[in-house]
Structure 1
Amino acid sequence: MTGSTGGAPRPARIASCEPCRLSKLACDHGRPVCSRCAKKGVPDQCVYRRDPFKRSRHHRLGATAPRAQARAGSRQAWGANLSPGSDPEPPALQLTMYPNPGFQGSSSLNTILDTVERGTSYDANIDPALVPGDGEQASAEDDAGGEEASIQNTMLVMSGTAMVEEGAQVLELLTTLLTHGILQHLFEEWMGKGLEVHVGSLLVRPFLDSIADVMAPVQQAAGYQAGLLVLSRRLFNAAKISTEINGTVSLPEFAEQYTGQNLRWETVGLILALAGNAVSKLRAPHPVYKTEQERHTLGRNLLHSSNKCASFSESLDILNDVQIIFLYESFLLHSAYFGHQSFRAWGRLNTAINALFGRGIHQRLDNDGRLPFFLVELRKHIFALLYGSDISFSVFLGRPPRISKRHCVIHVPLDVTPDTYGLTAEALQEKLQELDERGWNTLGEIRTHAVIRWSMTTSKIREEALEAILGPEVPDRDQLIRNLRIKIEEAWNELPPFLAVPAREVWMTRRPGQETDALYLIRLYYLQTIFLIEWTASIHGTGDFDSLFAVASDLLAWVNEALTMRECLNRLGLNTLAWRVSAFGLPAAGALAKCMLAGSHQPPQRRQSSSTFIKAVRDLSVLIAHMDYLYDSSDGNYKLFRRAKGILIRVVESTLRKHTDAAGADDISPATLPIISPPSNCDAFDQWEFRPELWIGLPGPNSTEVNHLDFMSDFTQFID
């Protein structure tokens, strides 16, 4: 990012090489040669000035000081300057007039101009993830002059001043959370109980420790409020400095660029968003909050403060990996508090996807060893989660996806454990030798990454099914449906044998809850994809209700397995099970009910079987019986869930009434059917862990619009 203009001292930043500086072009600061000089064929001219700015950087990548000593020095350095009278007033924060364009592909005007400038063709071998700078922009702003530019600069300074004050408010909340040990307690309880499946879990410990170190002197300073303003301004200035990435950077060195003297708003925002997600999962009573009202208030404060951090990063035109992780966690937080149908959640997911595109992560990632292994895999992980979430929400809401495999390089993370990210050299190579040519581990270990990899496979198939539903007419839909059926079966058969286990073996073998949950999810995504294919076929008249009825019955029964066998799974929270019910169970239940309703199409042969009919009604009754405690009135999806339950009850009762009247039998109701009752100890059940990043959605209820995926509208039409 460019520095302040109009006479204000310039904040510290990374220097451009001499050719880029003289040409007033953005430099990616590559060492020993930046990408622009490499593309121009002038590597000998790519030199950097030794002391380009008045202020030197406080941090050098790869410092050899011990971590504890660095943290102590950081705390001392921050504390020495937080008192208002101990240091000259830092310059006013000024935003940039010229935005960071981010990654631009081969069809962009920027690429055309670059091609003309160097007189050569587009170089497809340049790693696009390295080209966009996340800090310094073209230095054309240095030449901005005249009355109009002066007015613009004044307005930018005023906006920056307002943001500094808002930042101080965020830091005040952060100080309160740290003083009362709320953040520490939440993350300590979460460690080993589900936090590890979040993409930002590797950064929690260094980020939280650094924030605590930096905030400690603020609490002890004489001028508390003034100290918060000083610290807020310094976080903004640090966030304007680009990060250095090369093939030799280690994970601790990567984290250091966002902590200590380099503490940024993305760092603070990620911790607040993760804490908010933790609060959304752990219901009261809890050591941190005694009542649901206290939990809701704390969660809303964390949501509001993390939103401010996101707006700070957006105003500074920041594009880096931690920001994308932060935006993804913020999206999960919005969906938990506002519901999956909320436009706020949809918009936050769009913001994260825009940052993904702006960073170029949708293109090749591992060119010529320019990126360290952990960062390549981290970016693959980010892409996998955003792609899967985009397809899931698009199916859930019946809207076109933002990410398409037609325009992206689909990145599938390797089947490794999270601790592999911290390995280098021989230790890393030894771990990688445990993988086969497709990236699966050969040790037979059931890992969390297996679920992410399988969800990517099913997401690509679901994208094609979604295109068949929302897209234009296809000449041969029968062939399209047949191809989709073949693809999902081939994908299932290509899974390693220790993952594609029969349904009974998921529960029969005693194994850790995390492994059982992984096997359960793999089969759940398999059944869900088959169901979506059959639903697509039924929409276009190329399928039959027999197939849809059978697949829906299998999917609903498998969802019920999670409800009745939950003690064997990972420590799931109520909202995790509720999402599985709404995204997987309710669509299956809707299809079953639609097949059973007398007002639907001709009844399938399966419905003529008394045992099949009783099993379908029993499965629906089991689902209904578990829906009372999956949501409370403060949850974002409460109205959606309540409406779905009411409609399902009406469908079951209406179907039973017609069935018993025709058979001349006594009146029966769902309550007379054998079901498995919910647990009596729901308080303990509330504390189970939430794993939202593994969401793989299905068409679900949508009360605001009518489309092919709106099962609830179909129910209403049949009943009303």
Structure 2
Amino acid sequence: MASRLAACEACRKSKVACDHKRPACTRCASNERAGICIYRTTPFKRKRAESATPSAQPSPSRVSPAQAPPLFARKNPYPNPGFLGSSSHVAIFNQISPETYHTSDNAHASEPDMATIMHSQVAGENLLMIQGADVLRQLLNTFPLAAMKDFVMFWLETGANMSLAEPFVEKCTENMTRLFTSFSQEDNWHLAYAQRLTQNSRMPLEIRTTADISDFSAQFLDQNFRWESLGIFLCAVSRATIAISFFPPLYKTEKDQFTLRKLSTSLSDLALDIALSLDCLNDLQLVLQYENFIIHTHVDGDQSFHSWSRLGNVVSSMFALGYHENVEKSKPPIPNFLAELRKTAWAITYSADKNVAIFLGRPPRMSKRFCHFQLPLNPPDSMISATNAWDRHTTWNEDTPFCYRAGIRWAALCSALKEDVLELLRDRQRENFNQKASAVREKAAVQWEKLPSKFKLSSTLKECSADAFKRDMLASIRLDQLHVIFLLHLSFIDSLTEPDPTIIDVSDQMLGLVIETILLRDQLVFSGTSVIWKIAHYGLPAAGIILLSMLKQSHTLTEARTSRSKTLMNLGIFVAQVQVGSMVRRGDPNYALISKATQTIERFLDSVHRDGAHIPAPPPSHPVENGEWDTFFSQDLCDFETVFWDNLADHPSLLASDHALPSI
């Protein structure tokens, strides 16, 4: 007698016949509802009556075993080792030929019970899945899915996107409404969807040499939708809430805006945690990891330990996947679109690692000594007449468009020079210090010269006639170039209290460009770095050097440097913009850093105006010999965070102002 088969949920609710095909029945597939063709795990089990009201929703902590999705055993109960290099034990044992030893039939007789091992491993994954299902239900019950899809599409229409996930954001967004077009009326519909997502996330992403990006994407869209796909969509929702302050279908108040951002970020975290718990590393998971890290820099702040640790996880996955090796020599060969994606992932992670390390004054995690330096958008070999690897990297195709990958390529080139400068800052007593510093300076000049002219900001940002995306990219490219020069000159300074005219000039240029991005932020579209990051990473160090030079009464101004009144005006604009709350407000993650710097700058400007536009001189009782100045600052020349501004605020020159500073 044939066993009885259950209909899928969609056919059962519609009370129509189902042919029971997997993963989607014929009726659902023909009606373009394959994404929601879900089969219940216990279709013929009678539900027990609940004492609670029918509308009550069980919390994930109280879900009974009958309600919870079943545990699915892994095909391989042991951890996925990932990439194993030439120094690993595997490389040694691979040299031992199988013919040199003999195995007996009883070799595995003493192994422990695999069912027990797999059950204990999957139990934690099941708990994560229930938590993810609960947040999924909360999000979709609070905010309409169709509106969230329109919200993300509206954000994409502005020209913005996510740097690494750009090829997949629109596809994942469109598939969301197909996946959730009709909800089951049962209390645990969210568990059924979570089960389906988990099943799909266990499937490896197959790579065929002849595949294109559409073939690759089909493995995680429609009925193959995964937690990674959902996570990318949710990252886009979170990013859109940061860029768009008013969207009536979803929110009209800051409270609702924050609620949507919090829920979408929480579910994105859970989607990533579930995917990682399955121990199935793949390209899509790495993309989600990076974009989730960027979300946390906005939600938790650039100084947050959570953001810092998530970047470390991205680096760990990068190494585990082996993408620090030459991806173009992968075996078997991979299609070109995937090679570009992996090179982009490496370049953007490498760049983020260097910039965050400099910003926080911490050691970088990635070193180009142990990586194959690879960049996206490499020109054809026929165009390159280079004598060394660096010449090949700095050669551009003149037809390179304004796109995220172009910005990533430039940022990685600058980050490589920043790594060299970090080594100079680490040990400046070496005999060949000047020679290495000159080599970095020459490389910086050459790579700027070889950059296509269309990527160079040749006028003020206001006078630039490019569109919003291009203008933001032009500003980011120029700031990265100035930052390399800034760090290089910083390496020559024995003390922060002795800035030379060259670094003051570079600081003026950096601060001026950051102020322009602040004033024109409504006319710029995110091209890789936010305005807040530009302020924290470029603007504050530049402002700190300028204040130090003025407090030191260093009047060695060059003709190339802007006038002192222009500099004072830029500092005043920065203070005013922070005070009115147009960039950062109390409670925002980066408020502490920016507000502390703002208070110090404001105190300095007050002292200048009070003394008749003269640079304030320290009181006679507080001499400013170098030894005295040095006590106010740490020995880390890259430290321009909160402690730097605390110390600067306590300088005697700024203590004369006894009136209370207005709250910011």
TM-score interval, smaller chain: 0.7 to 0.9
Decide whether aligned partners of structure 1 residues 588 and 119 sit closer, same or farther in structure 2, where only a CA change above 3 A counts.
Answer: farther
User: In percent, how many aligned pairs have the same letter?
Assistant: 26
Task: Assess, with a 3 A threshold, how the Cα gap between structure 1 residues 279 and 649 changes in structure 2: closer, same or farther.
Answer: same
Residue aligned with 2:316, SS: helix
Q: Does 1:380 align with 2:343?
A: yes
By relative contact order (CA 8 Å, sep 6+), the higher-ranking structure is 1
- C-alpha distance in 2, partners of 1:444/1:561? 26
Match of 1:79 in 2: 37
1:186 aligned residue (145, 151, 157): 151
Tell me, in whole angstroms, the C-alpha distance in 2 between the residues paired with 1:86 and 1:78.
20
Which residue does the alignment assign to 1:583? 537
Q: 1:707 aligns with which of 636, 647, 656?
A: 636
1:631 matched to 2:584: yes
Distance in 1 between the 2:333 and 2:260 partners? 42
Superposed CA deviations along residues 170-217 of structure 1, whole A, max 9, x for unmatched, are 432454377442321221111232334532122123323333323334
From 222, 230, 237, give the equivalent of 2:199: 237
- 1:665-710, CA deviations, whole angstroms, 9 ceiling, x for partnerless residues? xxxxxxxxxxxxxxxxxxxxxxxxxxxxxxxxxxxxxx99983322
**Unaligned segments of structure 2, at least 5 residues:** 1-19, 47-65, 101-105, 386-391, 618-631, 651-664
Q: 1:569 to 1:299 in 2, by over 3 A?
A: closer
Q: CA deviation at 1:620?
A: 1.6
One-letter amino acid matched to 1:171: L
Contact 2:28/2:34 (<8 A) preserved: no
Does structure 2 conserve the Cα–Cα contact (< 8 Å) formed by 1:104 and 1:110? yes
CA contact (8 A) 2:343 2:376 kept: yes
Match among 341, 360, 371 for residue 397 of structure 1: 360
Instruction: Tell me, yes or no, if the aligned pair for 2:496 and 2:633 is still in contact at 8 Å.
Output: no
Q: Taking structure 1 as reference, are residues 263 and 456 closer, same or farther at Cα in structure 2, changes over 3 Å only? A: same
Q: Which amino acid aligns with 1:533?
A: L
Quick one: distance in 1 between partners of 2:197 and 2:457? Answer: 50
Structure 1 residues 158 and 619: alpha-carbon distance in aligned structure 2, compared to 1, 3 A threshold: closer
Match of 1:228 among 184, 190, 194: 190
What does residue 620 of structure 2 align with?
none
Structure 2 CA distance for partners of 1:472 and 1:87, relative to 1, 3 Å: farther
Paired residues of 2:600 and 2:645 also in contact (CA < 8 A)? yes
1:622 aligned partner: 573
Amino acid at match of 2:643: S
Q: Where do 5+ consecutive residues of structure 1 fail to align?
A: 1-54, 60-67, 121-139, 417-431, 665-702
- Residue in 2 that maps onto 1:570: 525
1:485 corresponding residue in structure 2: 441
* Deviation by residue 1:605-657 (Cα, 9 ceiling, x = unmatched): 22999984333322222222222321122421011111110111123334555
Q: In 2, are the aligned partners of 1:446 and 1:498 still within 8 Å (CA)?
A: no
Q: 1:713 & 1:590 partners in 2: Cα distance?
A: 12
Q: CA separation in 2, counterparts of 1:653 and 1:320?
A: 55
State whether residues 228 and 275 of structure 2, in contact with CA within 8 Å, keep that contact through their aligned partners in structure 1: yes
CA distance in 2: counterparts of 1:545 and 1:384, whole angstroms:
33
Alignment partners' CA distance in 2, 1:337 and 1:141: 53
Amino acid at match of 1:349: L
Counterpart-to-counterpart distance in 2, 1:542 and 1:141: 70
The residue type paired with residue 355 of structure 2 is S
Structure 2 residue 640 is matched with structure 1 residue 717:
no
Matches within 5 A, 1:580-659: 580-598=534-552, 603=554, 605-606=556-557, 612-628=563-579, 629-654=582-607
Residue 373 of structure 2 is matched in structure 1 by 410
CA contact (8 A) 1:531 1:548 kept: yes
Distance (Å, rounded) in 2 between the aligned partners of 1:370 and 1:167: 36
Cross-structure match for 2:469: 514
Given residue 622 of structure 1, which amino acid in structure 2 is its aligned partner? I
Deviations 1:401-425, CA, capped at 9 Å, x for gaps: 1111111111211079xxxxxxxxx
- Return the alpha-carbon distance in structure 2 between the equivalents of residues 710 and 74 of structure 1: 56
Cα 1:454–1:549, aligned 2, differ >3 Å: closer, same or farther?
A: same
Q: Deviations over 1:98-140 (max 9, x none)?
A: 11111111111122212224699xxxxxxxxxxxxxxxxxxx9
Aligned to 2:263: 301
Selected match of 1:113 from 82, 85, 93: 93
Partner of 2:241: 279
Q: How far 1:245 moved relative to its partner?
A: 0.6
How far apart are residue 476 of structure 1 and its match? 3.2
SS at match of 1:116: coil
TM-score w.r.t. length of structure 2: 0.77
Tell me which of 309, 324, 340 is aligned to 2:286: 324
- Letter matched to residue 481 of structure 2: Y
Aligned residues: 577
Contact (CA 8 Å) 2:404, 2:527: kept in 1 or not? no
Corresponding residue number in structure 2 for 1:427: none
Higher mean Cα deviation, 553-562 or 637-646?
553-562
1:209 to 162, 174, 191: 174
Give CA-to-partner distance per residue, 1:343-377, whole Å, 9 cap, x none. Answer: 00001111111111111111111127711111111
Partner of 1:530: 485
The CA deviation at 1:320 is 0.4
